[in-house]
Structure 1
Amino acid sequence: MLQQNLIDNSLSDVHETVDTTKPRKGIKRFLAYIGPAYLVSVGYMDPGNWATDLQGGAQFGYKLIWVLLMSNLMALLLQGLSARLGIVRRRDLAQANRETYPPLVNFCLYVMAEIAIAACDLAEVLGMALGIHLLTGLPLIWGVGITVLDTFLLLWLQRFGIRKLEAFIIALVLVIGVSFLIEIFLVKPVLADVMTGFIPTKLNKEALYIAVGIIGATVMPHNLYLHSALVQTRKIGNDKASIKKAIKYNLIDSTIALNAAFFVNAAILILAASAFFATGNTGVAKIEDAHKLLAPLLGSKMAPILFAVALIAAGQSSTVTGTLAGQIVMEGYLKIRINPLLRRLITRLIAIIPAVLVILIYGDSKVDALLVFSQVILSVQLGFAVIPLIHFVSDKKEMGEFAIKPLTKIAAWLVAGILIYLNVNNLVVQGIEIFKSPGMLGWKT
């Protein structure tokens, strides 16, 4: 089952399987690089982000769209650094950590990364289960059980190579995007009002709390591991010109993919603002509540169906990339390769057990609380991925002329500081709320 030996290539099964050195012209040259950022982008539209977008739109209308835009720019910067590390050093973040830091530090970083992946998978399980429940009426506990099946879907897709897997993820992203495009058409927001949301405004205490949640959930730790590995599925030349071209095309790939993620998050917020805030339903905070209100408010039976389909697609796409991240982390830190099916089942069981226990003990009403809790766990892990990443891409000895410039370095550390501060602050606030409330994690039976 276990193989501990020469695992030097990130995602060795698909390492350099897409040859970009073949002569190509025009759009075909660019398309050879397209894909990795789309697998990364699904982490920015996963079910864990939906709650903050819904709350922001329902409570404050369009006022927080500029916060979404700012968080998207932060994500683009950090994902660009992750891709740069993989292209220039031909190492993913886990491998770079292993080769740089002492064993004890690496063990701690590995444990943190695995916790982050498990927390992320918990959010995907809950999101998919909730989507299945909303679409079919099946009990949530059944939906959680059904999510085990996607384990086999991923393994089946991987047999066809990385390009087919990328195509599958891009198709799911399109499903999410088209679903919300139709939702926006149904809700008919006033364009002038939407545009005012792009203008930064002073936020009151309540709006600031939601804004912190939006920004704090922007960069998922596992995405930084993932991107640095996925860019290595492209075979590129060793000369400086080829490396520069790869960095340029991956930046374009990231810009397009993360803007697609921005559109989805903005669409959720705009939908909530137009459907709930504008009609006085400012108390909508749960995904299930939003689903129930869409049909009567928009006068369309299609609206809640599209909402549920998009939620399932978001959960499914994110869970596929979470599995890849788990493989990258284990191989990179431990130089251990485990059977993909076993790896997936272990990760999924770690996510399913708390989901099943909460549903059985506390009922369906606490699923949103567990979803929020998973995001709190994720927030703690961010610094353990961002700080080493900036350290590596700033190292002129290893990166040579491709080390980031002083201005980029300042911007990166500033973004890292903001994200870490907001996430720690959010953790403290959530912790205070938990201890203030009676019962386990503030949940009453």
Structure 2
Amino acid sequence: MIKKWFKKIGPGTLIAAAFIGPGTVTLCTLAGVNFGFNLLWAMLLSIIATIILQEMAARLGIISQKGLSEVIRQEIKTPYLKQFITILILSAVVIGNASYEAGNISGGILGLESIFGNYNFSLGANTFNLMSFLIGIIAFLLLFIGNYKFLEKALISLVLLMSVSFVATAIITKPNILEVLKGLLIPKFPEKSILTIIGLVGTTVVPYNLFLHASLVKERWHKKEDLKFAKKDTIISIILGGLVSMAIIISATAIQTSDVSNAADLAKGLAPLYGEFAKYFMGLGLFAAGITSAITAPLAAAYVAEGCLGWSGGLKSKKFRFVWMTILFLGVLFSSVGIKPIEIIQFAQVANGLLLPIIAGVLLWIVNKKSILGDFVNSKTQNILGFIILIITIFLGVKGILKVLNFL
């Protein structure tokens, strides 16, 4: 039965597994610890936005049988505009994925350190985290060899274990249902919450997942009749992933401290269910989430570069490998130089939230072109929802920039 279930796993499940990474666990925990149920609405908004945007990306991939970046390169006819958009997208994805990769590796570090302790070494005046290199080496081997499907399934199983743990914990903590509903349905902006809100959006509506989804679905499905399967796969996977994120926020409200800096602190959210064993479940789950996401982020960046620059050769080509190696190297470097993993993860999610309006805007433009999608362009309802999401992401992005610049 489990083997049959794994065979039915579609790209939507992998997309959900990618956004339920260390960043999601960390940021949702911080949201629950610092703001209680008040930011659940942001997660609900993120789930709806993710379903709408990922469905567009999947539809584009199936109908055009091309990746998002490839379509963008082919559709922009003006040379200077093509160069500008290509550089913008490449820069956005490389910066975002490098930050996100650092967050993924840092999340894996949190998991390993909660079980095995800290392992650092000094080189001159600098101190480096040995765990960063270990996780980097594992991710490198899996990506270079390319035969990582079995391990990927095992890692997803570990992430699912952690997810079930949080859902069970959320139930065991017996939250006030009325307060939960208020948090879900009534938007609030508590003091100092704007960057956390942007982070919650950025950790769920991950910009690189839009490129990755479009590239993955065309490998799985090839006919317009397959759209219904892709849509079902997307909706179910993302809703389940979103429910897990909400459960993490709810269970984190039971943590009686605001000082969250390592996996042991995060594990307090699991304490009602597992007691002193919580840190081991959290450690394994964070490590699994970190490795799974550490594989998908460099791959997505390589797909984007391949499409934008018109490369051929696929996964084994030198250019393709160069891109993912660069992203992986930057992720290892950023995560090993002594910055607190929690801070890297938070920065990665905020960076994603700021990059999202750019990618969402380009996607909306593409899925309204009949020359690409024919009768499968966006409906009026889809466009209205898409533009509402775009406006909200621009609003949050501007507020985030102003906040970072200390203008608010």
TM-score, normalised to structure 2, is 0.84
Identity rate, percent: 24
Amino acid corresponding to residue 350 of structure 2 in structure 1: V
In 2, Cα distance between equivalents of 1:204 and 1:319: 32
- In the other structure, the counterpart of 1:373 is 347
Structure 2 letter corresponding to 1:80 = E
| Equivalent position to 2:188, from 199, 203, 214 | 203
Residue in structure 1 matched with residue 101 of structure 2 by the alignment = 121
Q: In structure 1, give the amino acid aligned to 2:252.
A: A
Contact 1:34 1:250 in 2 (8 A): no
RMSD, matched Cα: 3.0
**Gap change, CA 1:38 and 1:157, over 3 Å in 2:** farther
Q: 1:57 to 1:235 in 2, by over 3 A?
A: closer
C-alpha deviations, 1:63-108, integer Å up to 9, x for none? 3323312210111000000001101111111101111223412233
Counterpart in 2 of 1:56? 31
1:316 to 291, 294, 297: 291
In 2: Cα distance, 1:205 partner to 1:321 partner: 33
User: CA separation of 1:331/1:416 partners in 2, compared to 1, >3 Å: closer, same or farther?
Assistant: same
Give the whole-Å Cα distance in 1 for the aligned partners of 2:183 and 2:274: 28
User: Following superposition of structure 1 onto structure 2, how do residues 25-424 of structure 1 map, counting pairs within 5 Å?
Assistant: 34-101=9-76, 102=79, 103-105=82-84, 106-139=86-119, 141-155=129-143, 158-159=146-147, 167-168=153-154, 170-184=156-170, 187-190=172-175, 192=177, 195-197=180-182, 199-201=184-186, 203-206=188-191, 208-209=193-194, 210-237=196-223, 243=224, 245-276=225-256, 281=257, 283-288=258-263, 290-291=265-266, 293=268, 300-336=275-311, 337=313, 338-339=317-318, 342-357=322-337, 359=338, 366-424=340-398
- 5+ residue gaps, structure 2, are 121-128
Check whether the contact 1:57–1:269 (CA below 8 A) recurs between aligned residues: yes
Aligned residues: 386
Aligned counterparts of 2:72 and 2:154: Cα–Cα separation in 1: 31
Q: Residues 417 and 43 from structure 1, CA distance in 2 versus in 1: closer, same or farther, beyond 3 angstroms?
A: farther
One-letter amino acid of the counterpart of residue 69, structure 2:
A
SS in 2 for 1:275: coil
Q: Secondary structure at the match of 1:382?
A: helix
Write the letter of the residue equivalent to 1:381. L
**Range 348-357 or range 209-218, more displaced:** 209-218
Question: CA–CA distance in 2 between the matches of 1:412 and 1:218?
Answer: 16
Residue segments in structure 1 that go unaligned for 5+ positions in a row: 1-27, 238-242, 437-445
The answer to whether the 8 A contact 2:38-2:187 is kept is: no
Give 1:39 shift: 1.6
SS at match of 1:331: helix
